[in-house]
A = this chain, B = another copy of it.
């Protein structure tokens, strides 16, 4: 039984983390912090937790957090980097769900996030927590940077093609759509039900912060000598709560053009055969986000419209689960030697 703390427990990734950890046999949630709600029972803010958790929010305090074996940060960017040195130096293991340690180049981070990085010296310590790529490094990570939601769906969808250099890396497209919970639990007119229900639109076309993270991750898996992956990334906002759907386009190149549908399908099935949380559907399927609602699974399907040289990959996750808190628990399981499925066996809620 390990003791864990959660910094920033009032947001959606916080409550999702609690939902999952409360079904985990090897974890005790000992601390959960919130300056704004200090003293308030967590279950008073989230009645869904009544009867499951008897714990109040407390003011974040390094000395208290340091009594934990593991601390999760479920905070906006810019928070984890400030508390990180104190925790790392005390030998505490940390899983950061925010963007603070995902990008290896501090200058790139500063450009996209509009502020200098507060702790650049620890960036190189961070392990990028995409288990399907980095499982070995994750096992021994002290500071784990949990991937973003769009980056998870996009990378898992494109990795098999890029690893094998089967598509033109200079012309990749991720047309992605997210439920509104991706924007967090912030008082913001733009996320009111009256603003976004019964409507659909793109956003962030001038550049979304997940773009550099995705390109970095895609380039990491390319074979040596390949042109650096370059992505057109267009996010959209769905009139619903949970779910990310990525529709990925790439142009088959070289030997890729000669591959049969069956061979492409086999490529994906083989690549992910041992992965507990990647499910490759039959060729031509259309995974729905509801098929992963509340579960940690990424479902992927392939098609090749009209048999032309454009391959289309459909990839869905729950942005709060495999796109955030579920992936964090998966990483925790790897780091602490739990069964990778522990706390993550939920069947998606359908309908």
Contacts and interface: CB of A to CB of B under 8 A. Distances in A.
A274 interface: no
A294 B148 CA distance: 26
B241 A194 contact: yes
Interface in A209-234: 211, 230, 232-234
B303 A48 contact: no
Interface string A187-207: 111011111111111110111
A351 B181 contact: yes
Contacts of A306: 207, 211, 232
A267 B284 CA distance: 38
Given A185-B194, A192-B191, A201 B294 contact: no
A104 interface: no
A15 interface: yes
A187 B299 CA distance: 27
A240 B241 contact: no
A290 interface: yes
Interface residues of A, number: 90
A312 interface: yes
A350 interface: yes
Nearest to A20: B347
A291 B207 CA distance: 23
B232 A286 contact: no
Contact of A249 (B201, B249, B286, B346): B249
Contact of A171 (B193, B251, B305, B345): B251
Contacts of A247: 175, 202, 234, 236
Nearest to A318: B349
A106 to B, nearest CB: 20
A314 interface: yes
Contacts of A66: none
Contact of A310 (B187, B232, B305): B232
Contact of A48 (B173, B345, B347): B347
Contact of A238 (B239, B347, B350): B239
Contact of A197 (B22, B202, B241): B241
A179 B239 CA distance: 11
A139 interface: no
